[in-house]
């Protein structure tokens, strides 16, 4: 099966500019996650969608970050305005709901550098 697709792979912007990342999950995966991975740290969950509804956005900096998942498939994560500390890899993951726990499949990530 095709994996989780993300674009762009790399993006360099200046602070206060905006940026958007796109994610296409594995077909049929109803749950989609965005993680932020800062250099030297483990990934941190930003937002989790179940179909097109938000399950958890408790760690999303809502003053500058937004995410949407229209039609319950693709998702877009936006940062506006960007700060230096937003430099990180943004990982998208998806999972297939089942009667029990399920495993996340990650995309290759989008690396953001804010100058």
Partner 1 sequence: AQSVTQPDIHITVSEGASLELRCNYSYGATPYLFWYVQSPGQGLQLLLKYFSGDTLVQGIKGFEAEFKRSQSSFNLRKPSVHWSDAAEYFCAVGRFRGGSNYKLTFGKGTLLTVNP
Site for partner 1 (CB under 8 A): which residue of 53, 63, 71, 100? 100
Please state, in angstroms and as integers, the Cα–Cα distance from residue 37 to each residue in 1, 41, 79, 95, 100, following that order.
25, 6, 15, 19, 27
Note whether 102 binds partner 1 by CB under 8 A.
yes
**Beta strand pairing status for 44-50 and 31-37?**
antiparallel
Using CB under 8 A as the criterion, what x/- string covers residues 21-50 for binding partner 1? ----------x--------xxxxxx--x-x
Closest by CA position to 47, among listed 18, 20, 76 = 76
Cβ at position 13, least distance to partner 1 in Å: 20
Which residues are near partner 1 by CB under 8 A? 4, 31, 40-45, 48, 50, 55-56, 91, 93, 95, 97-109
């Amino acid at each position: 099966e095709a994996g989780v697709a993300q674009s762009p792979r790399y993006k360099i912007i200046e602070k206060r500019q905006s940026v958007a990342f796109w994610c296409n999950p594995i077909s049929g995966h109803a749950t989609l996650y965005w993680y932020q991975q800062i250099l030297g740290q483990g990934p941190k969950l930003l937002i989790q969608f179940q179909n097109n509804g938000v399950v958890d956005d408790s760690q999303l900096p809502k003053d500058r970050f937004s995410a949407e998942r229209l039609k319950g498939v693709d998702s877009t994560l936006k940062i506006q305005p960007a700060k230096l500390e937003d430099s990180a890899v943004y990982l998208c993951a998806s999972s297939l709901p089942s009667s029990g726990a399920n495993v996340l499949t990650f995309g290759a990530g989008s690396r953001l550098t804010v100058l």
